[in-house]
Each structure stands twice: as C-alpha cells, then as structure tokens.
Amino acid sequence: MTNNKSKKTVPLEFKPDLEETAERWNAFYAGEIIDRPVVCVTAPREGCKPVRGSDYYERVHGDMDDIIERAIAGAEAVFWGGESIPTFGPSFGPDEIAVFTGAGLRWSDDSPNTNWSVPFVDDWEEVLPLRLQEDNPLWRRMLEFYRRAADRMAGKMLLSSLDLHTNMDLLAAVRGPQRLCLDLIDQPEMIDRAMADARTIFRELWEIISHAGRMDELGYCHAYYSMEGAAVLQCDFCCMVSPEMFRRWILPALEEEAQIVKHALYHWDGPGALVHTDDLLASIGLHAMSYVPGAGYGNHIDHLELLKRVQKGGKAVQAWGSPEEIKSMHRELQPEKVFYGTNVGSQAEAEELLAWFVKNT
C-alpha cells in the first residue's frame, strides 16, 4: 500500500502485483490512463474452498479473533485481479455511527442481513451537541476490532473505513426520518447546529479509526474504490429534501468530508436522488459517482446515458456488471473516467478479461 508520507508501496501477500495496482489507481485519480481503464475483477482461487464471512450481527456479538481469521482465510481463497484489493471492513451496520452517539441498535428476523438505529432525540436542545460517546460499548468494540485486525492482517490485506452514513443520514438515524423532515421546515436553525456537530463527528471519527487501524502506516482501502485514503461517502436521506435544502446542509458537509478522506466515491442511492444531479456534478472533491439504480430499475448498463452525463460533467463513474456488460459499456464510456467491477469463475477468465481491455482501449 502507498504510505501518505513515504509514498512507498508495501507488498501484500494476497496481492503480489500491488505496486502496479497502485499506479493504475493513482492514474485514475489524476484523470489519466495507462493502457486500460481500472478494472476490479475477482475469481475463486484454484484449489481453495470458499470461507464463510461474517454479517453485522456476528461482528456485533461474535468472537472478534475468529471473525478476523475467517476474513483472512476468505481473502486468501480469492484471486484479486486487476485493481481489486483484499479488504476487510468491520462495519456493524448502516447506522453504526448513530449508535456510537447514543442511538440503540434494532434487529429483525425478517431482515437478518441488516439492522436499524433506534432514534433517541426528542428535543434537539436537550441533546446537542451530538458527540461520539467514548464509553459506548460498541464504539469501544469497534476500535478494538480495528486494532486486532490491523495487527493480524498487516502484510496480507487492507482495512476499509466504516459505513459512513454521516452528515444528514446521521441526523435521520438519531431523530427519525419523518421527524427530521418536519424539523427542516420548523426549526432550520436547530438543524444548522446539529449538522455542525455531525461534521465535527466525521472528522473525529475518521482520525480515530485511522489511528486504531494504523491506516496511515498500513494503508486505506475500499472494496471497489481503493488506495490512499479512499472512502465511500453518502447521504441516502437526500432523496427526501429539496435542492435548496441539499445545498444548505448536505452538499457542504459532503465536500468537507471529501477533503478529509482525500479520494471520495459518492454512493448515489436510487432514482429519488437524481434531483440533485447538477449539484453533485458541480461539487468539489467528490471524485467519482456510484449510482445505485434501486430494485426494479435495472443495472448500470441500463443507465448508460446517466453515466455518460456524469462523465461529461467532469466526474468519474463506477460501472458494475457481468464481463459482457462491462465490455459493452467500455465501448461508450470514457476509459480514464470509469472503474469497472465484475466477478468471473477463474483466474484464467480474469486474466483474459484484463487482456481484452488492454487490446480494446
């Protein structure tokens, strides 16, 4: 991984071509291209059996050391082709940052693969300022998770950041989305104060997690947007607000977060969020856009015109699909402003796909 100070690439056992990978990611960040676009392609490693990963519930309640060991074994069983990088994220769930500030954590047997926060704000005046609770058991567990994972995974794989539902997503999680919608109209000055707290929390959280995971030393990574301080930023709540509200509260926070993390991918969730397209394209610091069409709205290949519009507006895009789908998209998208993601059945197929992109770029 590239160290922000020394700029030297440290090898990874499960990613022997990391130096070449770093060069391609750095070219992507610079708006350049070497001989093909960035392609993240994974495949089962021959002779290795798949290893069961961990879900949110197990990471909250299970044995940390066992989870870490299984994550290492799982990464070893994968061929990390192109610009994909073996990564472990110890996230406890989408609303974990709200939990670290005092919200409860709720589970449902009907949706075992996710969880929700239990809002705790009845009166903003009584709870502000929002702060990370240093003695919160799950916050302390998360920091210990990062410390143990950093020790065990050093030289093998990288750690990723938390599920960064911050800025107004954090306010929605601690207040409740419906009540927050009313607050935006009824007490906007109070939301100014709460959003200032949320922005402070993001900076503090990023620094604390980076230190606990030794990320300045060992490197940062995100599963599909990797290297040197990369992180996924988002605000799913933005589909509930007007463009004016987005510009007042959410966009400035996202731009500040992007400056803190260095390389920012925006998780752009669902058709309801498209109302903010022009503002996002004009934003400062959001390097790439990852559009999530939503259930029933197809895949990335079905939204090529939107992806092309994003590129024309100056941003890069993430494009996910089958090998044939990303080949098709490659014929229409600017190669220096896209990174592709896919899975194949073998290392040979992955290498053939990468060779195809070199030949056809």
DSSP assignment of 118-159, as one string? E---S-HHHHPSP---TT-HHHHHHHHHHHHHHHHHTTT-EE
Distance CA 196, CA 17 (A): 42
Distance CA 284, CA 281 (A): 9
pTM for the model stands at 0.93
**Dihedral sign (CA 190, 193, 199, 201):** negative
Instruction: At 299, list the tokens.
Output: 């895949």
Q: Phi then psi for 33, rounded to 5 degrees? A: -145, 145
Nearest Cα to 340, choosing from 325, 360, 355, 351? 325
Nearest Cα to 115, choosing from 72, 158, 61, 168? 61
Q: How far is CA 28 from CA 23, 131, 227, in A?
A: 9, 36, 11
Q: Which secondary-structure segment (H or E) carries 197?
A: helix 188-212
The pLDDT of residue 262:
84
The pLDDT of residue 30:
94
| Residues 6+ away with beta carbon under 8 Å from 61 | none
User: For every one of its 361 residues, what pLDDT tens digit does the chain have, with 9 covering 90 and above?
Assistant: 433 444 456 679 999 999 999 999 999 999 999 999 999 999 999 999 989 999 999 999 999 999 999 999 999 999 999 999 999 999 999 999 999 999 999 999 888 889 999 999 999 999 999 999 999 999 999 999 999 999 999 999 999 989 899 999 999 999 999 999 999 999 999 999 999 999 999 999 999 999 999 988 877 676 556 666 678 999 999 999 999 999 999 999 999 999 999 889 999 998 999 999 999 999 999 999 999 998 888 899 999 999 999 999 999 999 999 999 999 999 999 999 999 999 999 999 999 999 999 999 9
The pLDDT of residue 8:
58
**Dihedral sign (CA 184, 189, 194, 199):** positive
Q: Judge contact between 67 and 53, C-beta under 8 A.
A: no
Strands 38-44 and 78-82: antiparallel
Q: Which secondary-structure segment (H or E) carries 40?
A: strand 38-44
Q: Phi then psi for 14, rounded to 5 degrees? A: -90, 0
Q: Judge contact between 222 and 91, C-beta under 8 A.
A: no
The pLDDT of residue 5:
40
- Per domain, the residue ranges of the chain are 18-359
Residue type, 143: L
CATH number for the domain running over 18-359: 3.20.20.210
| Residues 6+ away with beta carbon under 8 Å from 91 | 56, 59, 162, 163
| Residues 6+ away with beta carbon under 8 Å from 356 | 327
Q: Judge contact between 167 and 202, C-beta under 8 A.
A: yes
